[in-house]
Chain A
Amino acid sequence: MERPLSPTYDVVIIGGGVVGCAVLRELSRYDLRLLLLERESDLAEGISKGNSGVIHAGFNVPPRSLKARTNVAGLKLVYELASTLGVPHRKTGKLVVALADEDKPRLEELKAQGDRSGVPGLEIVDEAAIRRLEPLARGRWALWSPHTGIVSPYELTIALAECAAQNGAEVRLEAPVESVRVGNGLFRLATPTGEFAARRVVNCAGLFSDEVARLAGIDDFRIFPYRGEYLITDKDCGLRLAMPVYPVPPRDDPGLGIHITPTLEGNILLGPSAEPVGDKRDLATTREVAARLKAEAARLMPEIARVPFIHSYTGIRPKLFDPSGGDRFGDFIVEESKRKPGWISLAGIESPGLTAAPALAEMVVAMLGARMDLRLKSDFIPVRPHRKRFAALDDDERAGRVAADPGWGEMVCRCEHVTRAEVVAALRNPFGARTLDAVKRRTRCGMGRCQGGFCAPRIVEILQDEGVPVDRITKRGGGSRLFYGRLKG
């Protein structure tokens, strides 16, 4: 079959997570023909949806590492970006808690580490201060980090891409790169729906960045998947948590330890754990880890043991080494391949990847700009089209919206108060994402306590109204179909 001829792109980004989308937006400031290829049926389907949503201040990582430098640089940028793009976020501050006096030196080490990296405002505080800052937290001492915050990682990812799209960047979903040919200064990337030629490629494929790199004949690194499970409480669990509470990082934990994090909506996240998994796509939760999450969380916050949970999820960290082998630290890889110039790989972007994303994007632009002519657009639009959610409007605003468009008067999600107009707008996103999870991520339908029991049949109706045949209605693309045709007729 003849592949359709497509124009040559200046830069193709592989991977639609927060890093790929941050790079896309940053590049969309310049006069470049851009394309992002994402293998799944929506953006943020990988690690970008399976994390704690924490904006880290930068003291968790060794100073002078790339992780530390991009974290500290990214910290300022992330808050600005979230504001500019209208992504809800909050600078909550954070406590790293030592339950016993003998753990205090670990806190002092963390503070020293942060001080050396230029992290502002870090302070060791005592039990009384802990109570004042976060009444639910327990501990003898804590490291107080006033600049840590929370943001929805997938909302940020989608907002970055929407802004880039508005500035002319293209995004293709369900476009896994299956083979790469290199020659004549171009990379030819083949996907099931077309071949794309690019002068430069930025590999942001997350868990699959090693496999994608190997397609181009680059075998410089390997990803070891480490899964983390999370539990989410009901918004009405009776506990109001103001800020993330972390334990002193356990020495034998390849992550930051099981912590407790509020979301902007008022849920509380417990997790993550950290276990090696054989399959990068093994997103299962387990009884054992769920029990361990509750037990560990209860040490930091006894009340959490008794609250109702409404959901659990997992995320898989892309580690660049096998932690069970004894190594403790692996830095971000951001490098242009020497053997295949023009191909930049970002690999091992685990925590603090969310915070570092905008700084990583600037780094990539600098690397590309070294051997490429980058001309700033005069008409770059830094914001994205965005409307406040119905649930967040006051009575007068709501009345106005409904009067102007009755679709805002039809309730679809009972638990989260989402209207039909919002569901339709979500389905008409610029990327063509039309799965149930795509609607969920953009509207919150299905994230409430009934977990879609009430709204899913209604969204199924709307999907059909929007032209999706019943057999193509999926939870998250691929084989995750809900139906096998009609019963009659």
Chain B
Amino acid sequence: MMRQKIDTCDVAVIGAGPAGLAAALGARRAGAGKVLLVERERTLGGILNQCVHDGFGLFLYKETISGPEYAERLAEDVAREPIKIETGAMVLDLSPARVLKINSRAGYRLVEARAVVLAMGCRERTREMIEIPGTRPAGVFTAGSAQNLVNLQNLRIGNQAVILGSGDIGLIMARRLVFEGVAVKGVFEILPWVSGLERNVRQCLMDFAIPLELGATVVEIRGRDRVESVVVAKVDDTLAPVAGTERVVPCDTLLLSVGLIPENELAKRAGIELSPLTGGAVVDESLMTSAAGVFSCGNVLHIHDVADWASFEGFAAGASAARFAAGEMPARETVRVSPGPHVKYALPQLLTRGTAGVEWSFRVTCPLRNVQVVVKGKATGKVYARKKFPRVLPSELQKIKVRPAVEEDLEVSCHE
């Protein structure tokens, strides 16, 4: 038991990436007194600092800028407010009573917050999690780690690379490597469709004649000390490798862009309910989790493809946290919202009974054309909202607003 005094604050925001920076601002602008922003890196900005390419800010700043610029602009807004910023400080534990254990060079201490916003972002799926057999040589990197080493440490991570996964991070790194004189032998994607934006396929692969193979994966890594080659094979509809389709691709580097996972260690320690569909917390329309006064936003809540939306979620979560800290958020009855056919998840998963005008974020399970997304009551079958989409992709987060007040459990589904 700590014998030291416990610090207090109104709102503590954990993580200062696009969501956390926005949450701190959102909390201040909603009237929170003492706002604490805790960031484990030495600089603010989170993952944005290594995303040197542009494409950020279209919605928040009405122009497309690079990740570092977006982060700096948000950080400048934060600096203009009396928000207490701690960098190089990591939250090691969060209790359900909202006590944070923070470690930094300045000291190890406890902080009790009236409200907390979780904005810790995500981590990357690893080689071991997708169980690629073979040896364990040097030269296997997750795409985000590689991006850090290339953009922030000026390191040549290899000479000939293969990339597994066609998500945007993999595509962006393909181009980045080519820009630095590293040959990219090919991008392999296990699904029959591309995960990333079409624009990135053009500008990162087609521009440089980098082959893209769908329905294929890496089935073995070879090389004793350093990667010497990978074996790739086609997969069938169950995503299992097809015997006889194997071929060896010589390379010294393998980049893995095979998925992002919300980093919810702290949420687990606080006993917060997580959704297996998103990997993030189960939240209501105020973005509050199952722990009273603990809110969640950004990639730690669900993986975003547009940083601006992570920020918008952050502004909202921060504002909710401020209201909770001020005692303006009584406990209320909720109804559940679940995904139906063709919908992977819909967020928020809970809705305060009787609320109107809430907007849901959702993702579909596979690419579809000419669909109608319907939000309907599970018990009554009443349709609360309908929206047509000429095309939907799993890689694009979509929205649908429900105008009427809702008194029952809902289902969000997608129909052709």
Interface residues in chain A, defined as those with a beta carbon under 8 Å from any beta carbon in chain B: 236, 281-287, 290, 308-313, 395-396, 398-399, 401-403, 406-411, 414-415, 417, 419, 449-454, 456-457, 460-461, 470, 474-476, 478-489
Tally of B interface residues using CB under 8 Å: 55
Q: Are A309 and B129 in contact (CB under 8 A)?
A: yes
Which segment of B16-24, B156-164, B352-360, B367-375 sits at the interface?
B156-164
CB of A482 within 8 A of CB of B139, answer yes
Given contacts A310-B126, A450-B123, A478-B225, contact A402 B154 (CB under 8 A): no
Chain A residues near B136 (CB-CB < 8 A) = 283, 313
**Complex contact A470–B123 (CB within 8 A):** no
Q: How far is the CB of B242 from chain A (nearest CB, A)?
A: 13
Selecting from B141-149, B309-317, B402-410, the interface stretch reads: B141-149
B225 close to A479 (CB less than 8 A):
yes
Q: Given A285-B134, A461-B153 in contact, is the A451-B128 Cβ separation under 8 Å?
A: yes
Q: Which residue of B lies closest to A391 (CB)?
A: B92
The answer to whether B131 touches A312, judged by C-beta atoms less than 8 angstroms apart, is yes
Closest CB in chain A relative to B264 CB, distance in Å:
10
Are B126's CB and A482's CB within 8 A? no
The 6 closest A-B pairs by CB, nearest first: A479-B225, A406-B105, A480-B225, A475-B138, A409-B105, A480-B138
Chain B 210-226 near chain A by CB (<8 Å), digits 1 or 0: 00000000011010111
Query: CB-CB contacts of B105-133 with A at 8 A, as 1s and 0s?
Result: 11111100000000000011011110101
Contact B226 A481 (CB under 8 A): yes
- B203: interface (CB < 8 Å): no
Out of B101, B131, B138, B153, which one reaches A395, CB within 8 Å? Answer: B101
A-B contact pairs, 15 of them (CB 8 A): A283-B135, A285-B133, A286-B133, A309-B128, A309-B131, A401-B108, A408-B108, A411-B103, A456-B145, A475-B225, A476-B225, A478-B225, A479-B224, A483-B149, A484-B159
Chain B residues with a Cβ under 8 A of chain A: 1-4, 40, 88, 90, 92, 101, 103-110, 123-124, 126-129, 131, 133-139, 142, 144-145, 148-150, 152-159, 180, 219-220, 222, 224-226, 263, 265, 268
A181 to B224, CA, bound (A): 31
| In the complex, chain A residues whose CB is within 8 Å of the CB of B40 | 411, 414
Q: CB within 8 A of B133: which of A287, A401, A485? A: A287
Nearest A residue to B120, CB-CB: A414
Cα-based distance from A392 to B44 in the complex (angstroms): 29
Whether B128 and A402, one on each chain, are in contact in the complex, defined by CB atoms closer than 8 angstroms, is no
* Chain B residues with CB below 8 A from A475, complex form: 137-138, 225
* Docked pose: A411 CA to B88 CA in angstroms: 8
Number of A-B residue pairs having CB atoms within 8 Å of each other in the complex: 148
Which A residues are in CB contact (< 8 Å) with B225?
474-476, 478-481
- Shortest Cβ distance from residue B193 to the other chain A in the assembled complex, whole angstroms: 25
Q: Which residue of B lies closest to A291 (CB)?
A: B131
Q: Is the CB of B148 within 8 A of A406?
A: no
Contacts of A453 in B (CB 8 A): 123-124, 126, 142, 144-145
Taken together as a complex, chains A and B put the C-alpha atoms of A453 and B127 apart, in Å, by 11
Chain B residues within an 8 Å CB radius of A410? 88, 104-105
Cβ-defined partner of A487 (8 Å) among B2, B3, B155, B265 = B155
Chain B neighbourhood of A407, CB < 8 A: 105
Minimal beta-carbon separation of A441 from chain B (angstroms): 14
Cβ contacts under 8 Å, B127 to chain A: 451
10 more A-B residue pairs beyond the given contacts A409-B104, A411-B103, with a C-beta to C-beta distance below 8 A: A310-B129, A409-B106, A414-B90, A450-B126, A451-B128, A475-B138, A478-B225, A482-B138, A482-B155, A483-B155
Residues of chain A contacted by B4 (CB below 8 angstroms): 399
On whether the beta carbons of A454 and B224 are closer than 8 Å, the reply is no
Q: A456 to B139, alpha carbons, bound, how many Å?
A: 12
Residue of B nearest to A483 (CB): B155
Asked if residues B107 and A403 are in contact (CB atoms below 8 Å), the reply is yes
Contact A450 B226 (CB under 8 A): no
* Cβ distance B159 to chain A, nearest Cβ, rounded Å: 6
A460-B155 in contact (CB<8A) = yes
Contacts of B152 in A (CB 8 A): 457
Residues in A neighbouring B142, C-beta threshold 8 A: 453
Point out the residue from A457, A478, A487 that lies within 8 Å of B156, measured CB to CB.
A487
